[in-house]
Copies of this chain bind each other. A is one copy, B any other.
Amino acid sequence: MQQIVDFILELDKLKAVTRKIRPPGLDRYENAAEHSWQIALLAISLAPHAGAAVDLDRVVRMLLVHDIGEIDTGDTLFFVEGGWDERKAAERAAVTRIFGLLPPPQGAALLALWQEFDQEQTPEARFAHAVDRAMPVLLNLANQGQSWRDNGVSYERVVRRIAPPIQAGCPALWAYLESRLEAARQQGWFGA
């Protein structure tokens, strides 16, 4: 029992990992813990639109654990170019450490979920990535492009990075976002 308690208190640190977006109406940045909660519910809501048949419960668990490595590495803006191999290695070391706090069967199961998400090969991982990529876009669309403007991210860069994973995991969601993003461009909601 003490191992589980040590693990869950270690996870508490994800509440301190801030992302680059402000929840609409709030004067603070989003943290990775509340983000993980929200995308789990987005996956549940979007499940009928997944690009392939998925085990939704595995998707939900994957999304709940996918950011835990950021406890050691912090969040990196998805649009940053380069440095991803080093970053992934650091995240992998972090989750090995953190899931290693649990009794081996539970720890190994969560590590396998994290790896499945990371490798982005299964239908579940692809759907999970689509959901994870789409959520900050939906928040930016509700927030007049706040994190795109703050961080100088252009329309072209957003589309180049998010269109492939969202189209692969949830085509209907991409069809919806495509026209919303075009409208946002006309509003001037992107950075240079």
Counting every copy of the chain, the complex holds 2
* A142/B23 in contact, CB under 8 A: no
Is A135 located at the chain interface by the 8 A CB criterion? yes
Q: Is A108 positioned at the interface, with any CB of B under 8 Å from its CB? A: no
Q: For this complex, into which size category does the number of interface residues on chain A fall?
A: 35 or more
Indicate whether A44 reaches chain B with its CB closer than 8 angstroms: yes
| Alpha-carbon gap, A53 to B137, bound state (A) | 40
Q: Could you show 23 A-B contacts with beta carbons less than 8 Å apart?
A: A1-B175, A4-B46, A5-B138, A8-B38, A8-B138, A9-B24, A9-B138, A11-B38, A12-B142, A15-B23, A16-B25, A16-B26, A33-B37, A34-B34, A37-B37, A37-B64, A40-B40, A44-B64, A44-B106, A48-B106, A60-B60, A60-B61, A60-B64
